[in-house]
Amino acid sequence: MESFSDAELISQFRVPESKEKAFRMILTRYQEKLYWQIRRLVLVHDDADDVLQNTMIKIWRGLDGFRESSGLYTWMYRIASNEAITFLKSRQKERSLMADDPDDYIKGRVKSDPYYDGDELFEKLQAAIRNLPPKQQQVFKMKYFDDLTYEEMAEVLSTSVGALKASYHHAVKKIQTAFEVND
């Protein structure tokens, strides 16, 4: 099977005859990475599926105008992050209406997801992450779960590598403290 570079796929996308084929190849190449990135933010499979499809539709609409100043995956990652955050904000309103303790709501929703198989340790970690400031949450998840390098994160978040290292370091310390306190 022919293998094209990202740049070649983008060029093919810009030609009407090969647009759909090129897009499907881009989807196939990055769908899992993007899915897991989103899933770790929104936690529930159905929600991740919605957010991922919305992300891909935005990529379809925006790829013609993509300036290639960053890598293709970095650009898509940014779109996916924004979509997930928008989704979470909308859910936040719902949570505050539906539960006295938003944390209980999240736990309930996650636990009822048939595609979740976490244990108490993982839930404790998630609770500790939720107590972090939003920016630290994002940095921690990108580094710890998505295995992005600091350079890749700097490109996505438009922040310096040094600031990201400091942010991650603080996040880890707070989570460790939360675990030590609760033990």
Partner 1 sequence: MKEEKFIWESGNFRKDPFKVPEGYFDTLADRVMARVGESSGKEEAARKRFIRPLMVWITSAAAILLFGWFGFSELYVKPHQEKLLQQDLTLLVDYFADELHEGQLAGFVEDYDVEVTFSTGVDYQDLIESEPVTAEEFIYQSIGN
Residues forming the site for partner 1 (CB under 8 A):
20, 23-24, 27-28, 31-32, 35-36, 39-40, 43, 45, 49, 52-53, 56-57, 60, 115-119, 121-122, 124-125, 128, 145, 172, 175-176, 179-180
Residue 53 vs 96, nearer CB to partner 1: 53
Q: How far is the CB of 69 from partner 1 (least distance, A)?
A: 25
- The residue behind tokens 């991922």 is 52
Q: How many CA within 13 A on the CB side of residue 138?
A: 17
Cα 102 to Cα 57, 135, 144: the distances in Å are 30, 19, 24
Residue 161, C-beta contacts closer than 8 angstroms, at least 6 positions apart: 150, 151, 153, 154
Are the CB atoms for 40 and 141 separated by under 8 Å?
yes
- The residue behind tokens 């938003």 is 102
Q: How far is the CB of 110 from partner 1 (least distance, A)?
A: 10
Residue 39 vs 91, nearer CB to partner 1: 39
CA–CA gap between residue 100 and residue 1 (Å, rounded):
54
Residue 40 vs 107, nearer CB to partner 1: 40
Q: How far is the CB of 115 from partner 1 (least distance, A)?
A: 4
Residue 23 vs 66, nearer CB to partner 1: 23
Residue 97 vs 121, nearer CB to partner 1: 121
Q: How many CA within 13 A on the CB side of residue 126?
A: 18
Q: How far is the CB of 74 from partner 1 (least distance, A)?
A: 20
